[in-house]
Structure 1
């Protein structure tokens, strides 16, 4: 995994990156799994200190490949949310490398006690990734998000998953993290 981590880095999103963020967000491969934000929401996340909004850069030349948003970075409860992760290249290991970087940021830099996320149940690939990276399912918010596309119109369930600081440290001790 170390080699993949060398090919993935995060840099703070600039306002000049928001056209790229929008493009990735509305890409037909990503749209079924997220609810796109308005530009003003992304501007707020770039500016507001409780958020960390990053551009994901991947590959040999660190080309922009997506973005991530962390929320709750100043939470008095030390509960940081992985609000959004959206990548364009699929199946190359960048998602896993990115999740590992985000865990390190959450637990080492932001001193989170709890790092959590929610993911649509139809996003099987992401569910499997998060489980394999040590996130534990906490519960389900049944039919809580509207899904509307050319193929379907209905509702999907959100799966809430989290990792605690002691679980992360145990993974580091076992060599399951690059911590």
Structure 2
């Protein structure tokens, strides 16, 4: 299923191989690296043809790329879809929140997904606040689950269920 959605502010479309330079640059931006994982070019390239994933580019109406999203679990028999990664290049303009609203709407209106979930580093209060503002609920913490450099980091698990989405809309 091809994914494309838009609002008055943003367009989200399938990532193309020619977008991957932007994706890697966004991922390696100093403002993003503390909060998101990094993949190789080959990992991103392979995800473009993986039926269980959607790799998406976020653009404004001027055609400027402003971020990307990776969804995983499209084939999950438990009807749980994961926002594996969301990275926004232009911060402080509401693009992250708008992207989440578009993703949530598309997921619950175009797939059989029951549970949309994500993990967020426990020290990323800015992102957590944004997730909560669009309906995600804190479920718990995976303590010291990532080893980064010389220390462990914990992840907060958050989700929104289809009936919660429908009651909000």
- Using the size of structure 2 for normalisation, the TM-score is 0.92
**How do 1:47-66 residues align onto structure 2 when only pairs under 5 Å count?**
47-58=49-60, 60-66=61-67
What's the counterpart of residue 17 of structure 1? 19
Superposition map of 1:25-174 within 5 A: 25-58=27-60, 60-148=61-149, 153-172=150-169
**CA distance, structure 2, for counterparts of residue 77 and residue 154 of structure 1:** 33
SS of corresponding position for 2:48 = helix
- Displacement after TM superposition at 1:121 (Å): 0.8
CA RMSD of aligned residues (A): 1.3
Report Cα offsets for 1:45-80 as digits up to 9, x if no partner: 11111101001102x403101110110112222111
CA distance in 1, matches of 2:141, 2:159: 12
User: Cα deviations across residues 7-27 of structure 1 (Å, max 9, x unaligned)?
Assistant: 111110011111111000000
TM-score by length of 1: 0.88
Task: Give the paired residue count.
Answer: 164
C-alpha distance after superposition, 1:159-179 (max 9, x if no partner): 00001100000010xxxxxxx
Report deviation, 1:147: 3.3
Tell me the distance in 1 between the aligned counterparts of 2:79 and 2:143.
26
Unaligned runs of 5+ in 1: 173-179
